[in-house]
Structure 1
Amino acid sequence: MDGSLRSGDELPEEPTPLVGRARELAEVRAALAGARLVTLTGPGGVGKTRVALRAARDLAGTFRDGVRMVELSGVRDGALLADTVAGALGLRDALPVPTIDLLVECLRDQRFLLVLDTCEHLVGDCGAFVTTVLRGCPGVRVLVTSRQPLGLAGEHVLPLPPLAVTPEADGAAVELFAARAREAVPGFELTGADRDLAVLLCGRLDGVPLAIELAAVRLRTMPLERLLRRLDDMFRLLADGPSEVSRHRALRTAIGWSHELCEPRERLLWARLSVFAGGFDRVMAVAVCADERLARGAVGECLRGLEEKSIVQRTDDRYAMLDTIREYGAAWLNEVEPVRPLRARHRDHLARIASRAAAAWLTDDQERWTRRLDAERDNVRLALDYCFSVPGEERAGLRLAADLWSSWLCRSRFGEGRYWLDRGLAAVPADAPERADALWRNAYLRTNQGDSPSALPLLAEALKLTERDGDEVGYARTQRTLGTAATFMGDGDRAGRCFDEALEILRRRGLRADLILLRVLRGFHCARFGEPAAALAECDEAFRLLEDAPAEGWVRAWGGYVKALAHWFAGDVERCAAELRTGLELFRRVEDPVGLTNGFELLAWVFAAQRRYADGATLLGAAARFPAQVGLPRLGDSALESVHERLAGQAREALGDDAFARHHERGMALTLDETVRFAWDDRP
């Protein structure tokens, strides 16, 4: 993650050129110049997202620390709002504090524009979130898109009108229709009487951009004159009466007409696709939507038909639906069939992906499956929420969470993992077979957040359950986690006993991945408690077990860090530095900012020991910056904390307070890539 969070270059691509909206864009820019919270309001389909995206891109150069747009339509649980924003900003919920506090700490001194897109289903949660961010981060401004205002003091509300339709046929609405018509029918041009028909059609659709785009697609199957007549017929069929706001009626009519023009199988697929959050691919569409009513072979054909009708949009191998289109499909689904079996199939497909990812942990396929789950984060959350909200599905939810555990671990998403495991444990009875497994996994995530004391009650319950049920493997995994907690809490004797007991069982059962993790944890324990040779031996044994996975990066990086720590405590700073530099490359590759943070810290110690105090102060600055954003400094271990204090004090004494502060601030200003290069002596 960069020192400044993100740039305008990382905003989403604009799918098509924006038509019109010059006046509205000027209003957004003027509003953000004077207000810290600006909300673009308007009905679905009026173009709020497109205007916000273009405004963010135009303003990127005026915000020193960047601009970031966070799409919230796939977030159904307001408790995960802060985690979603943090993830979009490249932060990890790796600290045992509320993620909103992590965000405020990160953004406190930033001049930054945050765009929150599609907030109407989370108005209360978004209001509380924005209030906290604006109160704690004076340089941050927020642009919101929502069908209704957040209702906050100081909020500048900008209602976004439909596109202008003028009698002279040169308004933005007709320009949009012509542009989309050319995309639908190559070579199409508006000339003569057709321009007058286009004016009538756009006026009939009240200038609503989505309605106009849906109508333009119809030119593939009928001429413009017939299109207008058919649209008039649909208005008469679907109109609710004069009390309905015209732009709402226009959009509902356009979507309803698109629905009417779909084949019955396409309508059914449209309805079923509404169960997805944040997109899907073709394999998922088949797995979730196919059954005796809709054959597997028909799903691909119907998907192509929906794409041609602009009901779904495709980018590479991913499909998505606009919220307004999805809502229409969801309403239709509730009328034509029970939703629960479809939600269960959705959950089951995500469970299969998670199971494959869990099986690939600490193999060469680990990163591929972790990235696969990254792409399905909204769908995963939806599946877990289904499990923990619907009676009878709770145990399936805990099994899914167990398979997601390794991906949460590799991505340092400890807080999100805890959230779901906490929900699942609260939902299942005390005798549920999945309970012990969920308890030790939850406890392990807590130890990684430096919250080992809160892990102890969970581990005590897990030990009782595994002993009661004769679950030897679960008992060993619980002991391994207890050893980890004891290590971080400074209880070396207890940690050693726990690790020894776990090792005997896991080695006898031949559980490769469990043994690899245990060896690295034992290595850290040995390095931490004065046995560097034993620490090196433990890591070497872990690497031997990894011989069949030469491309695995995550545990190799942590093993390298532990070996570097062992060399440090053995007094061999040169070998410590060599291990660290290799480890930093691996941590960067697997996107583990917690590992990078601790690697920077340890290399800063090396520089201090080599009397390179200025370089050490610079890396200490980098290591001080990134923990506030991504993870726990010095793994929350008191022994490492004491080394930090001693060496930082030496550097400060050698340089003087002013010079130390100057180099420390320089390190805090480096981007992540610059810091990695600095660690390799490739100075920015």
Structure 2
Amino acid sequence: MQTGHVVSDIPEESTSFVGRRAELRRIGRELAEHRLITLTGPGGVGKTRLALRAARAAAPRFPDGVGWADLWPLRGDELLPATVCDAVGLADHTTRAPVAALCSWLADKRLLLVLDSGEHLVDACRDLLGDLLTTAPHVTVLVTSRQPLDLAGERVTEIGPLPCTGDNDALTLLADRARAAAPGLRLTDARYAAAAGTICRRLEGIPLALELAGAQLATSSVERVAERLTSRFDTLDGDRPAFPPRHRTLRCAIGWSHELCAPLERLLWARLSVFRGTFDAQATAAVCAGGPLAEQDIRTVLAGLAAKSVISREGARWRMLDTLREYGRMWLGELGEAAELASRHAAHFVSFAHGAVDGFQGPDHPGWHTKVTDAHVDLCAALDHLLAADPERALELSASIGFVWSCDGRPQEAHGYLVRAVAAHRGPGPARTRALWVLGIIALYQDDLATAGALGRQCADAARAGGRAEAALDASYLIGTTHLMAGRPLTARTVAEQALGRTPGDPYATPGRLRCQLLRVFALTALGRLTESRAGATALRRACVRRGTPWFRSYVDYQLSLISLYQGRPAEAEHHARAMLAAKPGTGDSFGTGLGLDLLAAALAAQDQGAAAARAYGMGKAVWRTVGYPQRGVPELGAVREECERRARAAIGDRAYEEAFQRSCAERPETILARIAAGEI
């Protein structure tokens, strides 16, 4: 079966692409002949756009797809391995070092990896790629950077400006952007030729500078733009700190665009530089409004910056190029607002993280997954700031977002920040208890039951001391699950029932109660008390539907599928496995997806659908690889998997089973999730 090429990881282009045919042909040849290609050149010259085009054109040559990693939001090298893991679809849950996990994951992949804007991480990129290219012989890497990596085997291609003479690409780009800014304006008309040519030559064919100039033609004549550029070059102060001297032309264009902005636009430009990633209007208002910039004016001012090409739209969010962000950051410092904006930025993302915890446990889990993914680099920025400026708030943020990341395929990052935050603030309180609890949940994922149990007991002691009922329930869930995974289901059941008995009222009223109810069902199933387990699971599922908690409901469906298998009801088992899987696309829950596919395979095998079972089982194997484990789950699931394989092989024969299984194993997890969402599995 053809798995198809997944190129959805390549960002979409928001404007037309002009020229660069020779460069694209050259990069295409280099991608076929070399394993590490670095596109170098000054800021604004168009390296990223060329990489986008080249990667999309080359994608059919890479069966395992294209992974795109934006490096420009990273301020240090700590998150580089995690960023690359995200780009290639690895959500490692093990205790391995991220670089080791990444190299292992890519060892057999035929994949193109693009690292965009790596000039500030040259040493870290060199070290990472040195390991990766050695251990993953079929991976090709395309890097954009203002300087080479100086790594053995690197093919360096310098990207220059667009040509400015004759019938040139610089004029074509300027004319295209002029039409977008001022419909009906045709710079190719003879009356504009001289002024347009002056603009192109003055800006030396640098694409970003031409785009900024084109945007100004919405409010200025071509002749006026050319005249202002000439005047500005004559009076340009070469000592301004925005850029090194070699970027004089780009500095001029950016500074000129800045001067033409309205005062509120200049203020917002500076304040937006506090964001490391993309941003939406709500976050902009929360962080940037104040003083002369009223909250109700934010959308209007954002639109003004977009009209001048300072920011660009990406769906409901906005992006600012790093070159323009650097300029805004310089002005933010001159305004004396850098410290205040960093604090407001952090406070916003603390509030955001609290909302994400509720969101992940509520009806819009996929929507919150998208929000958290979009905000990832800014959440990291807020954590970095608070760890230095306010460790207590850092603990609060790490406890909230750490829980979300542990559910969202980022347990390694969650663990790293939680450990730092717990060490930075040792005072007791709800945030510390929650942080220790999340560390315990991550330890469960990593099969470190001793650590999980010890952390659970610490949380239980702290919850009792503070009289916090919900924290006590969560601690009991962690302790009980540790017993369950260690093969002690009777103890797990006792822990769950005692915890629930201490909290009178609606037994499904809070996430902590739902967790303990789920633990009780798991334990009853493991004990073979299937009638009680089914009754408990059925009641719990109704409560989850009533409360709008699809994440919890999906794991109840997992249990109902397993119970149905044990009771000889494979059609029901298939129904519940499919219901579980239907809740997984768009959630980042690779762990749950793997469990659901394994149970679906077992249910199909029990109905003698050997080929379908082999395909589902192979897809499960593909998903489990992204988690870093062959297969996981409660201890008794191992026997279910073995019986699944035996029955499927018996139904269609070993050769047919292996062919179907191996074809599905080769599918990319993104393709599998898309097929689940489309109802094809």
Question: TM over 0.5, yes or no?
Answer: yes
Counterpart for residue 81 of structure 1 = 80
Match of 2:418 among 421, 440, 451: 421
Q: Which moved more, 1:378-387 or 1:322-331?
A: 378-387
| Matched residue type, 2:533 | A
**Structure 2 residue matching 1:188: 3-state secondary structure:** coil
| Matched residue type, 1:322 | L
Q: 1:625 to 1:507 in 2, by over 3 A?
A: farther
| Matched residue type, 1:159 | E
CA distance in 1, matches of 2:670, 2:161: 44
Q: CA deviation at 1:165?
A: 1.9
| Matched residue type, 1:7 | V
Counterpart for residue 548 of structure 1 = 546
Q: Say whether the 8 Å CA contact 1:7–1:66 is kept in structure 2.
A: yes
Q: Say whether the 8 Å CA contact 1:109–1:137 is kept in structure 2.
A: yes
1:228 aligns with 2:187: no
Q: CA deviation at 1:347?
A: 1.8
Q: What do the CA deviations read for 1:395-421 (whole angstroms, capped 9, x no partner)?
A: 212222333355335434333322322
Q: CA deviation at 1:355?
A: 2.4
**Structure 2 residue matching 1:152: 3-state secondary structure:** coil
Q: CA deviation at 1:501?
A: 2.9
Calculate the TM-score normalised by the size of structure 1: 0.91
CA distance in 1, matches of 2:680, 2:370: 31
| Matched residue type, 1:525 | A
Q: What is the 5 A alignment of 1:337-356?
A: 337-356=336-355
1:92 aligns with 2:86: no
Counterpart for residue 290 of structure 1 = 289
**Structure 2 residue matching 1:113: 3-state secondary structure:** strand
Counterpart for residue 336 of structure 1 = 335
CA distance in 1, matches of 2:297, 2:211: 26
CA distance in 2, matches of 1:296, 1:289: 8
**Structure 1 residue matching 2:115: 3-state secondary structure:** strand
Q: Which moved more, 1:643-652 or 1:68-77?
A: 643-652
Counterpart for residue 34 of structure 1 = 33
Counterpart for residue 515 of structure 1 = 513
1:605 aligns with 2:597: no
CA distance in 2, matches of 1:509, 1:362: 18
Q: 1:499 to 1:46 in 2, by over 3 A?
A: same
Q: Which moved more, 1:407-416 or 1:423-432?
A: 407-416
Q: 1:670 to 1:113 in 2, by over 3 A?
A: closer
Q: Say whether the 8 Å CA contact 1:473–1:505 is kept in structure 2.
A: no
**Structure 2 residue matching 1:546: 3-state secondary structure:** helix
Q: What do the CA deviations read for 1:115-138 (whole angstroms, capped 9, x no partner)?
A: 111112222332233233322222
CA distance in 2, matches of 1:252, 1:628: 47
Q: Which moved more, 1:649-658 or 1:349-358?
A: 649-658
CA distance in 2, matches of 1:9, 1:408: 22
Q: Say whether the 8 Å CA contact 1:165–1:203 is kept in structure 2.
A: yes
Q: Which moved more, 1:584-593 or 1:300-309?
A: 584-593
Q: 1:653 to 1:453 in 2, by over 3 A?
A: farther
Q: Say whether the 8 Å CA contact 1:354–1:404 is kept in structure 2.
A: yes
Q: What do the CA deviations read for 1:485-506 (whole angstroms, capped 9, x no partner)?
A: 2211212343233223322234
1:586 aligns with 2:613: no
Q: 1:452 to 1:3 in 2, by over 3 A?
A: farther
| Matched residue type, 1:76 | R
CA distance in 1, matches of 2:578, 2:492: 29
Counterpart for residue 570 of structure 2 = 573
Q: 1:570 to 1:626 in 2, by over 3 A?
A: same
**Structure 2 residue matching 1:156: 3-state secondary structure:** strand
Q: Say whether the 8 Å CA contact 1:208–1:247 is kept in structure 2.
A: no
Q: CA deviation at 1:203?
A: 2.0
Counterpart for residue 502 of structure 2 = 505
Q: 1:452 to 1:596 in 2, by over 3 A?
A: same
1:188 aligns with 2:185: yes
Count of aligned positions: 677
Counterpart for residue 179 of structure 1 = 176
CA distance in 2, matches of 1:312, 1:282: 12
1:48 aligns with 2:39: no
Q: CA deviation at 1:288?
A: 0.8
Q: CA deviation at 1:424?
A: 1.4
CA distance in 2, matches of 1:580, 1:218: 57
Q: CA deviation at 1:590?
A: 4.5
Q: What is the 5 A alignment of 1:369-448?
A: 369-388=368-387, 390-391=388-389, 393-405=390-402, 407-431=404-428, 433-448=430-445
Q: CA deviation at 1:247?
A: 5.3
The root-mean-square deviation of aligned C-alpha atoms, in Å, is 3.1
CA distance in 2, matches of 1:612, 1:266: 63
CA distance in 1, matches of 2:278, 2:678: 43
- Identity rate of aligned residues, in percent? 36
1:524 aligns with 2:522: yes
CA distance in 1, matches of 2:378, 2:2: 30
Counterpart for residue 487 of structure 1 = 484
1:461 aligns with 2:428: no
Q: What do the CA deviations read for 1:461-484 (whole angstroms, capped 9, x no partner)?
A: 333433444444323321211111
| Matched residue type, 2:208 | L
CA distance in 1, matches of 2:613, 2:314: 45
Q: Say whether the 8 Å CA contact 1:536–1:566 is kept in structure 2.
A: yes
| Matched residue type, 1:73 | W
Q: 1:174 to 1:677 in 2, by over 3 A?
A: closer
Counterpart for residue 622 of structure 1 = 619
Counterpart for residue 255 of structure 1 = 254
1:272 aligns with 2:271: yes
Counterpart for residue 475 of structure 1 = 472
Q: Which moved more, 1:575-584 or 1:501-510?
A: 501-510
Counterpart for residue 162 of structure 1 = 161
CA distance in 1, matches of 2:441, 2:588: 20
Q: Say whether the 8 Å CA contact 2:273–2:325 is kept in structure 1.
A: yes
Match of 2:533 among 526, 532, 535: 535
Q: Say whether the 8 Å CA contact 1:69–1:115 is kept in structure 2.
A: yes
CA distance in 2, matches of 1:612, 1:87: 35
Unpaired runs of 5+ residues, structure 1, are none
| Matched residue type, 2:320 | M
Q: 1:297 to 1:320 in 2, by over 3 A?
A: same
Q: What do the CA deviations read for 1:37-85 (whole angstroms, capped 9, x no partner)?
A: 1011111101000111111122122223322322222233533233333
Calculate the TM-score normalised by the size of structure 2: 0.91
Counterpart for residue 126 of structure 1 = 125
Q: 1:514 to 1:156 in 2, by over 3 A?
A: same
CA distance in 2, matches of 1:634, 1:401: 29
Q: What do the CA deviations read for 1:63-115 (whole angstroms, capped 9, x no partner)?
A: 23322322222233533233333334444334443444444444333322111
CA distance in 2, matches of 1:96, 1:682: 34
Q: CA deviation at 1:276?
A: 0.9
CA distance in 2, matches of 1:239, 1:331: 15
Q: Say whether the 8 Å CA contact 1:5–1:89 is kept in structure 2.
A: no
Q: CA deviation at 1:527?
A: 1.4
Q: What is the 5 A alignment of 1:208-219?
A: 208-219=206-217
